[in-house]
Structure formats: structure tokens, C-alpha cells
């Protein structure tokens, strides 16, 4: 029965933690949807602070990739430097001193690299992993999609930031409900959550154009 409950992926602030992975200056012009990803991650950070959810932040080789971008709003939050892809080894002590921890909420870049490696290491520790897909990206949309699917196959819960935020709140009577609700936008850009939509639409237009072109000449030649 306990295993069945765990598989539901419920999250509560008391046993959750937010991981912010490698949103650094030198990646700004390389990662797709970087401004949107950072904006959503910043929202997750604000909510975590309102709900007393602990937050851990890493930077991948900051000597080369720079430091965390200021718009994340993580000033005052210590950044742990790393070279390994996974966030888990450098944060090992932080995890060990939280025996109540059950769920990790994961945001950042890149999906096929540090996010994937971190998720798998956390699963190895017996923790539930919840990836906010609208707060994770890559330089390649293909890599992003494949990595998300790979994580799903391994047992990671794929969610949006709003899904996770509402799970943490659980009740409109929550003392911080109004403050949190004010942080939620009325519109979410679909391209961030559902990569590939624009590409599929473009392909459909091209296919329609060529079909119409050949059909037109077929009719002309037949006449």
C-alpha cells in the first residue's frame, strides 16, 4: 500500500526541496528559450521561499560558463560549483542531513546533460524526482525531447511549474495562497512546455504547399 501511495508522486513542502541547475551567463545565447526558462525557474524560487521549501543551486564550471544569471533572483543563495554533470555528488552532504526528504523539484539546464544525470542519481537514492518541463531546456530541441522521454522511462515525474506549485499549495485556504496565485501568469507559452509544436506546424505548411503545387500542375497537364 505504501509503495502504491509513493507512485502517485504527491509532494508537500515539508519533505520537498527545489534544485536549480546551472542557469549561467555564458549559456544565455546557446540554450533555447533561455529567458522563459529562467523566468519560470525564478517563479519556482519565489514560491519555494513563500512555502519554506529549501533551495539548492549549482553552477557548472563557473570559470568558463560564468555565474548564475541575475534575473533568476537567487542573490544571497550560495552557489555550489561543480564539474560533474549531476548535482548530487557536490550536494551529497546537504541531502544526507535531510532524512525527511522525499521529493526533489528540478529546474535548469541542460536537459540531456545535468538535468538527466541529476534525476537518475536522485532516483538511485530512492527519492521522487519532479522535473518542471517548462523550466528546463537545451541547445537542441531533439536532445531535450529525448532526455525528457528517457527520464519518464526511468520513473521521473514530468510536470509543469504550475502543476508543482498547486500540489505544494493543495488548498485555496493556504495562508500564502493569494501571494502564490499572484505569481502565476494567465498565459503560458506553449512552445516552452511542448517543444516541437512550431516545427510540426512548419512541416505541415510545407507539405500543404507542395501538395497544392503538384495538384495544380497535374490538373493543368490533364486539361
**Catalytic residue chosen out of the listed positions 21, 22, 107, 134:** 22
Question: Would you put residue 61 in left (φ > 0), alpha (ψ -120 to 50) or beta?
Answer: left
pLDDT digits (tens, 9 = 90+) for 150-178: 999 999 999 999 999 999 999 999 999 99
Q: How far is CA 173 from the centre of its chain?
A: 27
68 phi, psi to nearest 5 deg:
-60, 135
pLDDT surpassing 70 at residue 210: no
Average pLDDT of the residues of the chain: 88
In the annotation, is 114 catalytic? yes
Burial 65-92 (b: 16+ CB within 10 A, else e): eeebbeebbbeeeebeebeebbbbebbe
- Can you give the pLDDT at residue 206? 52
pLDDT digits (tens, 9 = 90+) for 118-135: 999 999 999 999 999 999
Whole-number Å distance between alpha carbons of 161 and 183: 11
pLDDT surpassing 50 at residue 63: yes
In the annotation, is 82 catalytic? yes
- Can you give the pLDDT at residue 7? 75
- Can you give the pLDDT at residue 4? 42
Q: Which residues, 6+ apart, have CB-to-CB distance to 45 below 8 Å? A: 18, 20, 55, 72, 73, 74
Question: Would you put residue 22 in left (φ > 0), alpha (ψ -120 to 50) or beta?
Answer: left
pLDDT digits (tens, 9 = 90+) for 67-114: 999 999 999 999 999 999 999 999 999 999 999 999 999 999 999 999
- Can you give the pLDDT at residue 201? 43
Environment class of 54 (CB within 10 Å of its CB; exposed 0-12, middle 13-18, buried 19+): middle
82 phi, psi to nearest 5 deg:
-150, 160
State the helix-helix crossing angle for 161-169 and 34-50, rounded to 10 degrees. Answer: 10
- Can you give the pLDDT at residue 193? 56
**Catalytic residue chosen out of the listed positions 30, 46, 52, 82:** 82
In sequence order, what are the beta bridge partners of 44? none
- Can you give the pLDDT at residue 200? 44
pLDDT digits (tens, 9 = 90+) for 15-59: 999 999 999 999 999 999 999 999 999 999 999 999 999 999 999
In the annotation, is 29 catalytic? no
Architecture of the domain made up of 2-188: 3-Layer(aba) Sandwich (3.40)
**Catalytic residue chosen out of the listed positions 29, 30, 52, 114:** 114
pLDDT surpassing 50 at residue 197: no
Whole-number Å distance between alpha carbons of 17 and 99: 12
pLDDT digits (tens, 9 = 90+) for 177-188: 999 999 998 655
Residues 78, 58 contacting (CB under 8 angstroms): no
Amino acid at each position: 500500500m505504501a509503495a502504491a501511495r509513493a507512485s502517485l508522486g504527491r509532494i508537500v513542502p515539508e519533505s520537498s526541496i527545489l534544485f536549480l541547475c546551472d542557469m549561467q551567463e555564458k549559456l544565455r545565447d546557446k540554450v533555447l528559450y533561455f529567458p522563459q526558462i529562467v523566468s519560470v525557474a525564478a517563479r519556482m524560487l519565489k514560491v519555494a521561499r513563500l512555502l519554506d521549501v529549501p533551495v539548492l543551486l549549482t553552477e557548472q564550471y563557473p570559470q568558463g560558463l560564468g555565474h548564475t544569471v541575475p534575473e533568476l533572483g537567487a542573490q544571497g543563495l550560495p552557489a555550489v560549483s561543480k564539474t560533474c554533470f549531476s548535482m548530487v555528488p557536490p550536494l551529497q552532504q546537504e541531502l544526507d542531513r535531510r532524512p525527511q526528504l522525499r521529493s526533489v523539484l528540478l529546474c535548469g539546464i541542460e536537459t540531456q546533460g545535468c538535468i538527466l544525470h541529476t534525476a537518475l542519481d536522485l532516483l538511485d537514492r530512492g527519492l521522487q524526482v519532479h522535473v518542471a518541463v517548462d523550466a528546463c531546456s537545451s541547445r537542441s530541441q531533439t536532445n531535450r525531447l529525448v532526455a525528457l522521454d528517457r527520464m519518464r522511462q526511468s520513473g521521473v515525474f514530468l510536470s509543469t511549474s504550475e502543476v508543482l506549485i498547486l500540489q505544494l499549495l493543495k488548498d485555496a485556504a493556504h495562508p500564502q495562497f493569494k501571494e502564490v496565485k499572484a505569481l502565476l501568469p494567465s498565459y503560458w507559452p506553449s512552445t516552452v512546455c511542448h517543444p516541437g509544436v512550431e516545427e510540426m506546424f512548419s512541416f505541415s505548411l510545407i507539405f500543404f504547399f507542395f501538395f497544392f503545387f503538384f495538384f495544380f500542375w497535374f490538373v493543368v497537364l490533364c486539361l
